[in-house]
């Protein structure tokens, strides 16, 4: 079929001494056209170009039916894929301590691409949002309650992009928390097609050695408490002693020892947990190192 080109008829207008012209168009009409064009540009969807943060609910999390910006139809490309290890943290392997604050790191990687985005939400399997997200960067922003994502000035990277933010752990008894994340490795075409969407998760447990798990069978004692650094353990058998900081970091280990006295004076002052195991007996004691 032959292409038909219709040229608009030239409109001639009588110029006046008080009217400013741009070519054959009065200045005020040119301004209206420019404003309309700019409005269309801002209304056109662009990949992840949100000034503050992406819309909440697209992190691939239970609270919103596990949807991402791919499964919802916002971005098209390959099917959503899983990526391991894109969400990391400084939460110890022993678990999070309720109320403590930790740093979460999100990293998207795709060789040859230079535009990236993400959204993360900490939830349990039932979709309850747990803990408090704390924005610590000018390149990230809160995307509604319980969601965080990149801003428009946090898109650029060369083959990968990393963002960080903080998370305050929830109250005691909340149990395991999963950080659900959806990542966009975009092709940078300014639209919503050809983007690759990935999901990644990080699950952390509530601390298993700490305030909530202190137990005692009154068969082993640790004294003095508080202590200036040197502690004594009342036990006549061989023991393994593990000393944890308040946030669950293992700071000292004494394996299979008959020692009854332990010098912890090199540790910083504060609260510690002493895990003592001898035979079938295993106890955890809370101690305070003070001046």
Q: What is the pLDDT of residues 207-228, one digit of tens each?
A: 754 433 444 445 678 888 888 8
Q: Which of 1-15, 46-60, 181-195, 267-281 has the highest mean pLDDT?
A: 267-281
249 vs 129, higher pLDDT: 129
Lookup: tokens for 10: 């030239």
CATH number of 211-289: 2.60.40.3080
Mean pLDDT (whole number) for 160-184? 93
The pLDDT of residue 108 is 95
- Bridge partners for 231 per DSSP: 262
Topology alike, domains 62-204 and 211-289: yes
Q: Would you say 97 and 248 are in contact if contact means Cβ atoms under 8 Å apart? A: yes
Tens-place pLDDT, residues 3-16 = 444 444 554 545 44
The pLDDT of residue 1 is 47
Residue written as token pair 């924005």: 135
**Statement: residue 239 has pLDDT above 70:** yes
From 55, 56, 66, select the one nearest 126 (Cα to Cα).
66
- Mention every residue, 6+ apart, whose C-beta is less than 8 A from residue 98: 169, 170, 171, 172, 173, 174, 206, 207, 211, 212
- Bridge partners for 230 per DSSP: 263
Q: Would you say 284 and 274 are in contact if contact means Cβ atoms under 8 Å apart? A: yes
- Mention every residue, 6+ apart, whose C-beta is less than 8 A from residue 11: 24
Cα 163–165–171 angle (5° rounding)? Answer: 150
- Whole-number Å distance between alpha carbons of 186 and 149: 15
The pLDDT of residue 42 is 37
CATH of 62-204, picked from 1.20.120.350, 2.60.40.4060, 1.10.12.10, 1.10.8.60, is: 2.60.40.4060
**Statement: residue 61 has pLDDT above 50:** yes
- Whole-number Å distance between alpha carbons of 283 and 60: 40
Mean pLDDT (whole number) for 154-178? 91
- Mention every residue, 6+ apart, whose C-beta is less than 8 A from residue 179: 87, 89, 104, 120, 121, 122, 167, 201, 202, 203, 204
* Alpha carbon of residue 7 to chain centroid: 55
From 176, 147, 140, 142, select the one nearest 161 (Cα to Cα).
140
Lowest-confidence region among 19-23, 84-88, 259-263? 19-23
44 vs 102, higher pLDDT: 102
The DSSP call for residue 56 is S
Q: Would you say 117 and 212 are in contact if contact means Cβ atoms under 8 Å apart? A: no
**Statement: residue 23 has pLDDT above 60:** no
207 vs 1, higher pLDDT: 207
Q: What are phi and psi of 97, to 5 degrees?
A: -95, 125
Please state the pTM of the whole predicted model. 0.57
Count the alpha carbons within 13 Å of 258 in the hemisphere toward its beta carbon.
2
**Average model confidence (pLDDT) across the chain:** 79
Domain boundaries defined on the chain: 62-204, 211-289
226 preceded by a cis bond (ω within 30 of 0): yes
Q: Would you say 61 and 121 are in contact if contact means Cβ atoms under 8 Å apart? A: yes
Question: How sure is the predictor about 137, in pLDDT bands with cuts at 50, 70 and 90?
Answer: very high
């Amino acid at each position: 079929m032959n292409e038909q080109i219709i040229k608009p008829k030239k409109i001639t207008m009588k110029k006046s001494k008080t009217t400013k012209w741009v070519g054959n168009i009065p200045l005020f009409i040119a301004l209206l056209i420019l404003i309309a064009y700019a409005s269309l540009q801002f209304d056109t969807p662009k990949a992840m170009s949100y000034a503050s943060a992406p819309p909440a609910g697209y992190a691939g999390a239970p609270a919103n039916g596990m949807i991402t910006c791919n499964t919802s139809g916002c971005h098209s490309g390959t099917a959503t894929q899983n990526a391991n290890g894109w969400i990391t943290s400084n939460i110890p392997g022993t678990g999070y301590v309720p109320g403590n604050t930790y740093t979460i790191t999100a990293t998207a990687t795709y060789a040859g691409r230079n535009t990236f985005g993400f959204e993360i939400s900490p939830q349990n399997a039932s979709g309850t949002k747990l803990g408090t997200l704390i924005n610590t960067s000018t390149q990230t922003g809160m995307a509604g309650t319980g969601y965080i994502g990149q801003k428009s000035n946090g898109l650029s990277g060369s083959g990968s992009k990393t963002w960080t933010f903080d998370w305050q752990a929830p109250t005691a008894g909340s149990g395991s928390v999963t950080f659900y994340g959806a990542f966009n490795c975009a092709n940078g075409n300014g639209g919503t097609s050809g983007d690759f969407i990935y999901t990644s998760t990080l699950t952390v447990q509530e601390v298993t050695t700490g305030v909530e798990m202190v137990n005692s069978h009154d068969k082993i004692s640790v004294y003095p408490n508080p202590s200036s650094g040197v502690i004594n353990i009342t036990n006549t058998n061989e023991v393994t002693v593990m000393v944890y900081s308040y946030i669950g970091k293992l700071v000292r280990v004494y394996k299979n020892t008959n020692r009854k006295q332990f010098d912890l004076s090199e540790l910083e002052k504060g609260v510690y947990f002493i895990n003592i195991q001898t035979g079938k007996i295993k106890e955890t004691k809370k101690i305070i190192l003070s001046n």
